[in-house]
Amino acid sequence: MLDVVGMLYRHSVMVDTDSAQDLLRDLDEQQRAAVVHDSSLLAISAPAGSGKTRTLTRRIAWQSATGRISAQRVLAVTFTRKAAGELRHRLGALGVGQVSAGTFHALALAQLRRRAEDRGRSFPALLDRKARVLAPIVGGRGPQAVVAINEAASEIEWAKARALTPEQYIEAAGHSGRQLSRPVEEFGAFYVRYEQEKRKRSMIDFDDLLWWCADALATDGDFAAAQRFRFRHLFVDEFQDATPAQLNVLKGWMGQRRDLTVVGDDAQSIYAFAGAQASALARFDRLFSGGAVVHLGTNYRSTPQIVRASSAVLNAESEVQRATPRAPRPDGTVPSVVAYVDDAAEAGGVAKLAQAAHDHGTPWSQIAVLYRTNAQSAAFETAFQKLHVPFRLRGASRFLERPEVKVVLGDLKKLASQGNDRPLADLVDDIVDIAGEAGAEQSEHINAVARLAREYLAIDGAGGSLPAFVSWLDSATRGGDDPSSPNAVEFSTFHAAKGLEWEVVFVTGVEAGLVPISYAKTPSAKAEEQRLLHVALSRAGQELHISWARQRQRNRKPSPWLELIEGALAGRRAAALRPPADKRAALAQTRAALRSVAPANAVDQELLADLKAWRLNVARAHDIPAFTIFNDRTLNEIAGARPATRTQLLEINGVGPAKLERFADAVLTILSEHDSE
């Protein structure tokens, strides 16, 4: 019956040939081929900067203009709320404003809530943080308990992304070689008790949304038929990030139909820890039998020099082999690779270069500092504050947690409490009317909430309600998307930078132990680290600055992949690629530190130097005297005694309970690394 409806639609639609041709005029040959491809099962492989969103939106608009699809029956799935908003905006500009778009979780929540309301059933409460349930299960108190609870939550998320039950998790985690602080069976037990406690409280978490939706699509014929009738044409962005649980939902939405277009880049698959399968895009034609794959091959974002540098790390070892994309942008400066004495010098150097870029006309918002781990931000925060350079940390606060947003939601609740069962759309119109009377910042947040409410109403399809919208909003804004964009330098991890771009980018800490990260031991883990570096490098448009520090708690070596980058760029400027750090100053600094106290006979001099380098970094990061952390005598005793546990460390003169709590993990890590050498 559904196929008959589709045929009737295609025969009745008016085809606007001129408009359809206009949609193709400013596309390159490969983009045009992807837009007009006649396969209903299509994967578009699109490297960084190749215009994948343009290609995806044009394909939707072109198929709608030529009568191949109905825009009202399109469901576009993205991985962030921001991406969904951008997609809707572009489609609206192309005259296709009826498309529904959202994340997997937000779409699943809206569909499940509508299903419950249609059946007169109450919908379970949505658990915003797993820690609320896990805390009494895991037990303990203080910072260590928080770490244990977070680890348990991460393991449950790892399992659910792969659609694994507690029993299946134990086997899969054991085979995966995951490095855990407790036996895998213990985390399996936490998983079992967590699920039991949720059922007792009538709660579900965000991971359950995908499980429940996939199960409902598989077992509830009426629900499945309704969703497949409403959403006949499926489009998925960033397909390389899809997890098994998300693929189950996608296949449930499809049913027996063969109407799916996906776009992505297997070189940007960097979420294996969250369950993403790097091979999903590469084996699209096997996941969906008979599917076709087309490739885009031009990078419009970056200069040829930056494209060459970012592509250099994608060699055979990274499991991604492809030709370097064409780069039509005019030549720019050769990317720099600089070795600094330590991480404080690196942060100071980057801050000065960022200030220089701004002085030469680059807006602060077009400059970014990228690093592998969040812990690296401390040095940059200090350095940028000293130069009064504005900066922001991506994802530092969630949208829902802001006071301005809470005021808007409070106003909506007050309006709703006045009775008359007014629909949510009317309540939203009321708060928009008062936005002009509010201050600029509050007005921006009012309009942001209004935009999100309209996004929710388009997905819900039946009027919605304020409680349902608030619950959906909590799901849709998870992940750190920020509706505002202040004029400041962006600080971001490599992972959080994916999907973003700036004119001037600093990729920092490119040294062994960080790039690749120290716990990446297997070939697949190291290959993902290479892809992650490629993602970071490919964020830059005009200028790319790569740096590493010779000391970061201990002596460091450059990342092995810097050689690949330098080799690719050697034809242009080989001699200047890695300006030498001030080796004499670094050597003098180390010698002076070693001479400051006459070492005991049993003291390992390299260990003592690493302990002092760590102390210096912490002191600079917090702008405190180094001796207030540990004095030289204490460091000598630590280096001589080489304690292996917190209890043994506490026995050292000068190490009290407070310092033990703050510094034990870092000190014991340095000692452990030296013991393993």
pLDDT for 317: 58
What is the DSSP code string of 164-220?
A: --HHHHHHHHHHHT---SS-HHHHHHHHHHHHHHHHHHTEE-HHHHHHHHHHHHHH-
* pLDDT tens, residue by residue, 109-127: 999 999 999 998 999 999 9
Q: Which residue has the higher pLDDT, 347 or 320?
A: 347
pLDDT for 435: 66
* For residues 362-379, average pLDDT: 90
pLDDT for 677: 58
Q: To the nearest whole number, what is the mean pLDDT of the chain? A: 83
- Say whether 505 sits in a helix, a strand or coil: strand
CATH code of the domain occupying 304-396+484-573: 3.40.50.300
C-alpha–C-alpha distance, residues 661 and 666, integer Å:
10
What percentage of residues in the chain have a pLDDT greater than 90? 43
Q: Which of 83, 139, 131 is nearest to 106 (CA)?
A: 83
For 357-386, letters b (16+ CB in 10 Å) and e give bbeeebebbbbbbbbbeeebbbbbebbbee
Domain boundaries, the chain: 2-113+209-295, 128-204, 304-396+484-573, 399-476, 584-676
Q: Which residue has the higher pLDDT, 582 or 37?
A: 37
Q: Which residues pair with 547 in a beta bridge?
A: 338
C-alpha–C-alpha distance, residues 640 and 582, integer Å:
30
* For residues 500-506, average pLDDT: 96
CATH 1.10.530.10 at 584-676, yes or no = no
Please enumerate in sequence order all residues whose Cβ is within 8 A of that of 533, keeping only pairs 6 or more positions apart, or say none: 313, 494, 507, 510, 515, 559, 561
CATH code of the domain occupying 128-204: 1.10.10
pLDDT for 26: 92
The model scores a pTM over 0.85 = no
CATH code of the domain occupying 2-113+209-295: 3.40.50.300
What is the DSSP code string of 465-482?
A: -HHHHHHHHHHHTTT---
Q: Which of 4, 13, 8 is nearest to 67 (CA)?
A: 13
Please enumerate in sequence order all residues whose Cβ is within 8 A of that of 640, keeping only pairs 6 or more positions apart, or say none: 600, 602, 603
- Say whether 135 sits in a helix, a strand or coil: helix
DSSP secondary structure letter of residue 272? G
Asked, colleague to colleague, whether 2-113+209-295 and 304-396+484-573 share their fold, the answer is yes
* pLDDT tens, residue by residue, 427-441: 888 887 776 665 545
